[in-house]
């Protein structure tokens, strides 16, 4: 059961602001930053200087989720865990310290560099902040990391390893080098507009963000009368084993992943009420995902939402942010629009949600696909 939500993103900080942001068209920009995030609300100056921004975002989102869950007496720290996804980790710190080394010499490199750069820094910081002493683990499967971490966290609860888990993803990697690298790959949108599944899509807008959920054992949550946003019904992971960046044509890996997730949830495609798409706005990804969704569900058989038109693509955090959007769609009984998209590619037989759409909440499948061919699908259901 999901009993707490925390989120920091370019669409807004906190669940309410985030939900409103998903309905608000952003200005065109290849870079989408969480401009309303203020570290001083969460850290002293000294604490902030010793944490990379991706860790700061993760800690803020986790604290929001814990506050949202409310005070719970009797938590056993040894049965409370952390599972956080990130694509790269503390690359901002690494790039800054490389410049320090070049300009000022090795003696001026920060002694905190390694603990700030390491990808597991976020998970470690969540454990330190919460006092949770159960498993504290990190997944780095590129853009699928947030979804994979939510699935892994849910399994820690389902397998009776933990009573409660903080799970999600965090990313902040907009440095000169990473921006240049994505640009020369032609992955970034030259127009600064993210348009999932649009005929004129031309790349993604890179973003930062974090989302963390409190996952709690079902009967325990019910016994204490917890507010429940929804639950993880099933999940799956596959690999295309095709190319380091490009998805396999036709989406075979994604098809297998979605079908396995539905099997894990003991559902059929007809049971699914909506699909939250990975929808990066790149020509190859959207074509492969569109073909895969059609293969699993049929032509235009299920509403498809893509929030990256607003949030941009926050890589390892994106799957967790999109899980939050699904949970809030349960709460508000509405599917968020795929903003930025105006002319759905006629080659894709998809029912893309272009305006806010009232709906009866039901099982929803959320997809994430990453460089390296990593595929993740998560099935979420209303409480």
Rounded Cα distance, 300 and 189, in Å: 27
Rounded Cα distance, 139 and 376, in Å: 12
Average pLDDT over residues 133-143: 97
Residue 378 lies in a domain: no
- Whether residue 57 is predicted with pLDDT greater than 90 in this model: the reply is yes
pLDDT number for residue 224: 87
**Cα dist from 84 to 69, 145, 147, whole Å:** 18, 8, 10
Q: Exposed, middle or buried: residue 108 (CB in 10 Å: 0-12, 13-18, 19+)?
A: exposed
φ and ψ at 105, to 5 degrees?
A: 95, 165
CATH number of residue 236's parent domain: 3.40.47.10
Rounded Cα distance, 248 and 265, in Å: 25
Residue 379 lies in a domain: no
pTM of the model: 0.96
- Whether residue 62 is predicted with pLDDT greater than 90 in this model: the reply is yes
Residue 381 lies in a domain: no
What is the rounded average pLDDT for all residues in the chain?
Answer: 96
Pairing state of beta strands 206-207 and 31-32? parallel
With a CB cutoff of 8 Å and minimum separation 6, the contacts of 112 are 49, 50
**Cα dist from 175 to 53, 88, 99, 284, 371, whole Å:** 12, 12, 12, 25, 19
pLDDT number for residue 71: 73
| Contact indicator for 53, 174 with CB cutoff of 8 Å | no
Pairwise pLDDT comparison (270 vs 223), residue with the higher score? 270
Average pLDDT over residues 56-66: 98
pLDDT number for residue 245: 85
Average pLDDT over residues 279-285: 95
- Whether residue 74 is predicted with pLDDT greater than 90 in this model: the reply is no
Q: With CA atoms as reference, report the closest residue to 189 among 348, 373, 372, 179.
A: 179
Residue 328 lies in a domain: yes
- Whether residue 73 is predicted with pLDDT greater than 90 in this model: the reply is no
Whole domain around residue 191: which residue ranges? 2-372
DSSP class per residue in 273-340: -EEE----S-HHHHHHHHHHHHHHH-TT-SEEE--HHHH-B-GGGHHHHHHHHHHHHHHHTEEPP-TT
Residue 383 lies in a domain: no
Average pLDDT over residues 138-161: 97
pLDDT number for residue 70: 87
pLDDT number for residue 179: 95
- Whether residue 72 is predicted with pLDDT greater than 80 in this model: the reply is no
Up-side HSE of residue 260: CA atoms within 13 Å toward CB? 16
Domain count, the chain: 1
Beta bridge partners, 136, equal: 82
pLDDT tens track for 109-119:
999 999 999 99
pLDDT number for residue 246: 87
pLDDT tens track for 209-260:
999 999 999 998 998 889 999 999 999 999 999 998 888 888 999 999 999 9
Residues with catalytic annotation? 143, 278, 313
Residue 380 lies in a domain: no
pLDDT tens track for 299-338:
999 999 999 999 999 999 999 999 999 999 999 999 999 9
pLDDT number for residue 362: 98
What would the two tokens of residue 300 be? Answer: 């235009």
Rounded Cα distance, 309 and 214, in Å: 26
In 3-state terms, what secondary structure has residue 91? Answer: helix
Distance spanning both ends of the chain, measured CA to CA:
8
| Contact indicator for 151, 237 with CB cutoff of 8 Å | yes
pLDDT number for residue 332: 97
| Contact indicator for 124, 137 with CB cutoff of 8 Å | no
| Contact indicator for 170, 55 with CB cutoff of 8 Å | yes
How many beta carbons lie within 10 A of that of residue 304, not counting itself? 28
pLDDT tens track for 18-49:
999 999 999 999 999 999 999 999 999 999 99
């Amino acid at each position: 059961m999901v009993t707490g939500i925390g989120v920091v993103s370019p669409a807004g900080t906190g669940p309410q602001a985030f939900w409103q942001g998903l309905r608000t068209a952003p200005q065109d920009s290849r870079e989408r930053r969480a401009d309303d995030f203020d570290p001083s609300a969460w850290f002293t100056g000294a604490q902030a200087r010793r944490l990379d921004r991706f860790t700061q975002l993760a800690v803020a989102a986790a604290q929001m989720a814990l506050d949202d869950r409310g005070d719970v007496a009797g938590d056993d720290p040894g049965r409370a865990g952390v599972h956080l996804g990130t694509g790269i980790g503390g690359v901002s710190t690494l790039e800054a310290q490389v410049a320090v080394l070049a300009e000022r010499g090795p003696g001026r490199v920060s002694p905190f560099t390694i603990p700030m750069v390491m990808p597991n820094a976020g998970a470690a910081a969540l454990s330190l902040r919460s006092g949770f002493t159960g498993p504290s683990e990190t997944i780095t499967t590129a853009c699928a990391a947030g979804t994979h971490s939510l699935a892994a966290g849910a399994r820690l609860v389902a397998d009776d390893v933990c009573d409660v888990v903080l799970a999600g993803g965090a990313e902040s990697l907009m440095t000169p080098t990473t921006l240049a690298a994505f640009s020369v790959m032609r992955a970034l949108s030259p127009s600064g507009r993210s348009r999932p599944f649009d005929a004129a899509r031309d790349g993604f807008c890179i973003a930062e963000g974090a989302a963390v959920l409190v996952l709690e054992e079902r009967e325990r949550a019910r016994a204490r009368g917890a507010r429940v946003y929804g639950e993880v019904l099933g999940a799956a992971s596959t690999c295309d084993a095709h190319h380091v960046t490009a998805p396999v044509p036709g989406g075979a890996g994604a098809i297998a992943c979605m079908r396995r997730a539905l099997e894990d949830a003991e559902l059929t495609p007809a049971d699914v009420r909506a699909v939250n798409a990975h929808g990066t706005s790149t020509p190859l990804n959207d074509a492969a995902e569109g073909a895969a969704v059609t293969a699993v569900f049929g032509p235009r058989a299920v509403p498809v939402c893509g929030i990256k038109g607003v949030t941009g693509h926050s890589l390892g955090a994106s799957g967790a942010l999109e899980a939050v959007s699904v949970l809030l769609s349960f709460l508000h009984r509405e599917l968020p629009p795929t903003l930025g998209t105006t002319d759905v590619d006629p080659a894709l037989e998809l029912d893309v949600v272009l305006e806010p759409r009232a709906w009866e909440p039901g099982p929803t499948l959320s997809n994430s696909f990453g460089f390296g061919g990593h595929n993740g699908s998560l099935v979420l259901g209303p409480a």
